[in-house]
Structure 1
Amino acid sequence: MTSALRRKAAEMASAAASQCYSYSLSPAAWALRQGGGGAARVVRLPSRRRFSVAAAGGGYDNENREYVIVGGGNAAGYAARTFVEHGMADGRLCIVSKEPVPPYERPALTKGYLFPPEKKPARLPGFHTCVGSGGQRQTTEWYKENGIEVLYEDPVVAFDGKTQTLKTSSGKMLKYGSLIISTGCEASRLPAKIGGNLPGVHYIRDVADADSLVSSLGKAKKIVVIGGGYIGMEVAAAACDWNLDTTIIFPEDHIMPRLFTPSLAKKYEELYQQNGVKFIKGALIDKLEAGSDGRVSSAVLKDGSIVEADTVIVGIGAKPAVSPFEAVGVNSQVGGIEVDSLFRTSVPGIFAIGDVAAFPLKMYNRIARVEHVDHARKSAHHCVETLLTSQTKAYDYLPYFYSRVFEYEGSSRKVWWQFYGDNVGETVEVGNFDPKIATFWIDSDSRLKGVFLESGSSEEFGLLPQLAKSQPIVDKAKLKAAASVEDALDIARSAL
């Protein structure tokens, strides 16, 4: 057979395989999805069967083209696991990442990773996805063993939906059948003109960022943390283990303003102050100034006051990394790529998951974008189940947030809180924070909408999602009169 005939045969075989197994290229399968209904049915193929469009030629740089995931974050890792569980990864799945390592549990970067060297800090490969949910540690070898092609340090910079092609920063041209956008978020930065890029100014989004910060912490004396949210609280707590002069600066009236009530925030602030952390509230940064060595030396506030610092950590939020996929459809209100309850975009065969997805939050009847590892894991699984099976069950996510701080050796008190649900309505706070505290959010119909618990037992933490999901009608007067957190949780449990 001539080479031309061999190429033609490969093209025909590849096209046939795509029609059978890639929903993005199968109109019948797409119509089935749009129609809804029916129980989920897993389509399984022999685990070692290799499918690749590579044989068709065309000058593309990825061998595995049936399914392509763009982005190498946590959601990509959990999506890969689901592909493997369905026997659909080997020779079919390609992941394109800007990072030099496989997906990992990103929350570790602002927690255990920042411990001093003598305190056994977290390091890779210890926290590769999917150990955060009790799964396998998916190292580089794991992806190779499961036939998954991973292109490292080569982010996608251009996208063509008509030709189903992608271009990477190195100039590689990639082909896909079905595409999953898992690009996550990027840290919001201070403008360069006010010192946002000075040496000694840090942002945390990946391992390289965390390594750079650890290096600075080892030499630092005075640090400034800009932002009173997750990053600010977790980095400041870690800095206490380095015995550094630490100041948190933020524009709001209290820390964690999007979740904490003023009363709850006050208790955490007091704990941080007991550990030597200082707070400057209601303040805005005017500029960061450099010293004679070119490194950051101080933060100048809008009121003219100056706070000395040889290391600055900026934690002022993040923005969804939608480029270069804006044409797929961006939600103007919450940002991110808009998807339906099965994580399908407006373009057949293209999906979006994790932080970058603007999805229907079913239980609260609104479009939302959730920047949290729990949603990254669950959205990845739900999306791949949709892609590989006849599943039509809508994603029904229960918002969940948590934090763990002061967990280093020698800490006077380890802190671990969890929150489930929606923080709307009247609040009822029970407990004195020593050792625990709970806050309940109750709407005008006396329905429990959200619940927060600090330092609970595993059984107590396990109750929280039940309460937030069920939204039972509770007796506010009884909750307010509860003598302890345990009593309050019993009252709420009795309403289920």
Structure 2
Amino acid sequence: MATLSNSLHLNHGLSLGCRQSSFLSPPTASTSFGFTSFRRRFVSASASFDNDNREYVIVGGGNAAGYAARSFVEHGMADGRLCIVTKEPHAPYERPALTKAYLFPLDKKPARLPGFHTCVGSGGERQTPDWYKEKGIEMIYEDPVTSIDIEKQTLTTNSGKLLKYGSLIVATGCTTSRFPEKIGGNLPGVHYIRDIADADSLISSLEKAKKVVVIGGGYIGMEVAAAAVGWKLDTTIIFPENHLLQRLFTPSLARRYEELYKENGVKFLTGVSIKNLEAGPDGHVAALKLEDGSTIEADTVVVGIGAKPAVSPFEHVGLNTTVGGIQVDGLFRTNIPGIFAIGDVAAFPLKIYDRIARVEHVDHARRSAQHCVKALLSAQTHTYDYLPYFYSRVFEYEGSPRKVWWQFFGDNVGETVEIGNFDPKIATFWIDSGKLKGVLLESGSAEEFQLLPALARSQPSIDKTKLQKASSVEEALEIAKAALQVKQAV
């Protein structure tokens, strides 16, 4: 599940015992948003609040919250000081698993908790519920925040709890875009995936399903359809665009993946729109009616049409009307002293391309959390310098004839050069004004994948004609590597 929203390109897509302390915010970075540095003293002698740990509060229980918690621990500032309040019943986990290994059939070794708790995805210690207890972090589960009083520095939860904070980190992520109820968006058998409960509900349907329709040709659509193949189900992908992952894949690249899916039995309906979802006599979804009047039978429907930043109840802390989300500076500070935003919900300066962006991706969730907490707790003043990175892994279930894994780094602007025949490798290079801006690689080696971020960040000048004449992916990468070495030598 991954998205990058911005005002120019790569527009993919589209969830306190009392302590006394003070801290000095690092000097503000130069931005156009009017951020100010500040000094705040957090003092609270009141016992009328429902959280014991009040110095630092994180709202949201996703990956960003989990990585922020680890950073607080690493700085020795978590024990008795940090509270996390989340709508989920689980400690933070690596959410990408939900549309990948979590959906595998039971006989194909599906992922299950505690196997993918944060921070196992980056090689860190697995942060189970016991880990938070051991580190003195207060966890408030299944109780989303519904309102904030900025003057009093308090939060109110759905159950009526009143929480106090000294510094607040908003890590609420996104909510799934849904079909309206009036066109059948809430019928039994219609699924959306954002959390474990959603994935569990889908698995229950897959166990009984005969005809699955996946709506959406993005990350979720591709990953869910690949998982459905593992169940040996009649699977169809429907989307209004002309080809898969249109905001990143070129038509030629998309065709390669579509052919692979078709070889695995997946059917495609492209360039079509859905009028409504229809129920059968039992009230369960039975078909999709398209705008052209045709009907597609389905007993299980998965909707993957994007997500929206979960900004309520924080709408007055500085929203970005261009890309959505809560606008922050390069240290993840909002325009309100003491309030920060990280992960999917943050609209931040994408320094390398000089624009404001909002990135829905686990890599950004991890890095933004770590950068924010370090800036908050230390003298760090350098601004966040993120390189866009996206990937997907599909058909990885046990017994699959071919496992697929691609990575993309950089910006998909300019002309493209495609090298390779997808058997198994293929690479696409984006070149703008003679400079290499982005690279996508399928089925590369570890060494080849490690080259991609260096290429995308350095943006070396490259001979497009020479690249086009490369006889293999390996030769093309060697040409790009040589261009990188020339730039580094200058």
Q: TM-score, normalised by structure 2?
A: 0.92
CA distance in structure 1 between the aligned counterparts of 2:80 and 2:47, rounded to whole angstroms: 18
Counterpart-to-counterpart distance in 1, 2:298 and 2:67: 39
The aligned counterpart of 1:195 is: 184
SS for the counterpart of 1:369 is strand
- Aligned counterpart, 1:464: 452
Q: The residue matched to 1:233 in structure 2 has which SS?
A: helix
Q: What is residue 33 of structure 1 aligned with on the other side?
A: 27
SS of structure 2 residue aligned to 1:300: strand
Matching residue of 1:235: 224
SS in structure 2 at match of 1:107: helix
Matches within 5 A, 1:285-364: 285-364=274-353
Secondary structure of 2:271's counterpart equals: coil
Aligned partners of 1:414, 1:18: CA distance in 2, in Å? 52
Does 2:356 match 1:367? yes
Of residues 251, 255, 262 in structure 2, which corresponds to 1:273?
Answer: 262
Does structure 1 conserve the Cα–Cα contact (< 8 Å) formed by 2:148 and 2:313? yes
Q: Displacement of 1:312 after TM fit?
A: 0.2
Amino acid at match of 1:18: S
Corresponding residue of 1:26: none
CA deviation string 1:162-183 (max 9, x = no partner): 1100000000000000000000
Q: Distance in 2 between matches of 1:359 and 1:274?
A: 41
The alpha-carbon distance between structure 1 residues 180 and 244, as it changes in their structure 2 partners (threshold 3 A), is same
1:129-170 residue CA offsets vs partner (Å, 9 max, x unmatched) = 000000011000000000000000000000111110000000
Q: RMSD of aligned C-alpha atoms?
A: 1.4
Q: Tell me if the contact between 2:436 and 2:461 (Cα under 8 Å) persists in the aligned partners.
A: yes
TM-fit CA distance, 1:58: 4.0
1:177–1:349: 8 Å Cα contact kept in structure 2?
Answer: yes
User: What is the 5 A alignment of 1:70-469?
Assistant: 70-444=59-433, 446-469=434-457
Q: Which amino acid aligns with 1:448?
A: L
Does the alignment pair 1:479 with 2:467? yes
Determine the structure 1 residue equivalent to 2:35. Answer: none
Report the residue type matching 2:447 in the other structure. E
SS of 2:21's partner is helix
Where 1:159 maps in the other structure, the secondary structure is strand
8 Å contact kept, 1:53–1:65: no
Q: Describe how 1:53-64 pairs up with structure 2 within 5 A.
A: 56-64=45-53
Cα separation, 1, equivalents of 2:316 and 2:358: 18
- For the residue of structure 1 that corresponds to 2:465, the secondary structure is helix
1:227-262 alpha-carbon deviations (Å, 9 max, x no partner)? 000000000000001010001000000000010000
- Corresponding residue for residue 488 of structure 1: 476
AA aligned to 2:435 is R
Normalising by structure 1, we get a TM-score of 0.91
- Which residue matches 2:14? none
Matched-pair contact (CA < 8 Å) for 1:53–1:64: no
Output the CA distance in 2 between the equivalents of 1:58 and 1:426. Answer: 62
- 1:191-222 Cα deviation digits (max 9, x unpaired): 00000000000000000000000010000000
Give the CA deviation at 1:120.
1.0
Residue pair 2:29, 2:383 contacting (<8 A) in 1 also: no
SS of the counterpart of 1:174? Answer: strand
Q: 1:18: Cα distance to partner? A: 2.1
Whole-angstrom distance in 2 between the partners of 1:420 and 1:266: 21
For 1:202 and 1:316, the matched residues in 2 are separated by 12
What is the SS of the residue equivalent to 2:373?
Answer: helix
Q: Residue deviations 1:73-112, cap 9 Å, x none?
A: 0000000000000000000000000000100000000000
Q: Which whole-Å CA distance do the structure 2 matches of 1:90 and 1:18 have between them?
A: 14
Code of the residue aligned with 1:466 in structure 2: it is A
TM-superposition CA deviations, 1:111-134 (whole Å, max 9, x none): 000000111100001000000000
Distance 1:33 1:85 in 2: 23
Give 1:409 shift.
Answer: 1.3
Q: What letter corresponds to residue 145 of structure 1 in structure 2?
A: E
SS of 2:236's equivalent in the other structure is: strand
Q: Look up the equivalent residue of 1:211 and give its one-letter code.
A: D
Q: Which amino acid aligns with 1:150?
A: M
Quote how far apart the aligned CAs of 1:435 are: 1.2
**Is the Cα–Cα contact under 8 Å of residues 53 and 63 in structure 1 kept in the other structure?**
no
Higher CA-based Rg: 1
Q: Does structure 1 retain, via aligned residues, the 8 Å contact 2:213–2:236?
A: yes
Q: Distance in 1 between matches of 2:372 and 2:178?
A: 31
Q: Deviations over 1:340-391 (max 9, x none)?
A: 0000000011000000000000000000000000000000000000000011
Amino acid at match of 1:314: V
Query: C-alpha separation between the residues in 2 aligned to 1:186 and 1:215?
Result: 22
- Could you tell me which residue of structure 2 aligns to residue 18 of structure 1? 21
Aligned-pair distance for 1:33? 2.2
SS in 2 for 1:404: strand
* SS of match in other structure, 1:323: coil
CA contact (8 A) 1:72 1:95 kept: yes
**Please, which runs of 5 or more residues in structure 2 have no aligned partner?**
1-16, 31-41, 485-490
Q: Give, in whole Å, the separation in 2 of the partners of 1:350 and 1:288.
A: 42
Q: Structure 2 counterpart of 1:188, which letter?
A: S
Verify the 8 A CA contact 2:330 2:384 in the aligned structure 1: yes
Corresponding residue for residue 5 of structure 1:
none
Which secondary structure does the structure 2 equivalent of 1:459 belong to?
helix
Whole-angstrom distance in 2 between the partners of 1:90 and 1:285: 51
Q: Is the 8 A contact 1:427 1:442 kept in 2?
A: yes
Answer yes or no: is the 8 Å Cα contact 1:339–1:359 preserved in 2.
Answer: yes
Deviation at 1:57, TM superposition (A): 2.4
Of Structure 1 and Structure 2, the greater helix share is in 1
> 1:438·1:452 contact (CA, 8 Å) conserved in 2?
yes
Q: Which secondary structure state, in structure 1, belongs to the residue aligned with residue 175 of structure 2? A: strand
Quote the sequence identity (%): 74
Deviation at 1:34, TM superposition (A): 2.6
**Paired residue for 2:7?**
none
The amino acid of 2:242's aligned partner reads D
| Partner SS for 2:476 | helix
